[in-house]
Amino acid sequence: MSSDAYTPTAAADETGVTPPRFVDPGEAFDSIQAITGRKWNLRIVYHLLESGPLGFSDLKDALDGVSSKMLSESLSLLEEHRLVCRELVSDQPVRVEYSLTECGAALRPAVNALLWWDAEFDHKVDG
């Protein structure tokens, strides 16, 4: 049994939420990190939560410092994991919009909690 293993005696947090008994936290965290742990992924989710569907250029403008290649790779990964949906809006000229799927939109409480946690404890990355 790993040190991450959920035990029935684990206490609920202040929200009263405990993970399901069948969840192995180690595996769950690995899966979560594979999807959201890349630098731009949560930022993309955040902007889609806040602004709704956005085109590629709009997302690139919102994400200070992201390259087109990295944005494209991140969007592809988020699509692959069914968090983001890509929709062709027009074909002359080609225009696509990205929006969150139901699964992606369900990240809102987690994203908000992470932002509040950072504000509360002033976690800043140096340099």
Tokens of 7: 């035990």
Return mean pLDDT, the chain: 85
Model pLDDT for residues 31-55, shown as the tens digit of each residue: 889 888 899 999 999 999 999 999 9
Residue 22 has pLDDT above 90, yes or no: no
Of 90 and 98, the one with more pLDDT: 98
Q: Quick check: is 126 in a domain?
A: no
Q: Quick check: is 34 in a domain?
A: yes
Q: Measure CA 41 to chain center.
A: 5
Phi/psi for 15 (5° steps) reads: -85, -10
pLDDT at residue 94, rounded to an integer = 87
Q: Quick check: is 79 in a domain?
A: yes
Domains: count for the chain: 1
Residue 27 has pLDDT above 70, yes or no: yes
Residue 33 sits in a domain of what CATH number? 1.10.10.10
- Please give the Cα distance from 104 to 93 (Å, whole number): 28
Q: Quick check: is 47 in a domain?
A: yes
Question: In which band, very low, low, confident or very high, does the pLDDT at 13 lie, cut at 50, 70 and 90?
Answer: low
Q: Quick check: is 5 in a domain?
A: no
Residue 117 has pLDDT above 70, yes or no: yes
- Please give the Cα distance from 95 to 57 (Å, whole number): 10
pLDDT at residue 78, rounded to an integer = 97
User: Of 5-9, 22-26, 89-93, 107-111, which has the strongest mean pLDDT?
Assistant: 107-111
Phi/psi for 55 (5° steps) reads: -75, 170
Q: Which domain holds residue 104?
A: 25-121
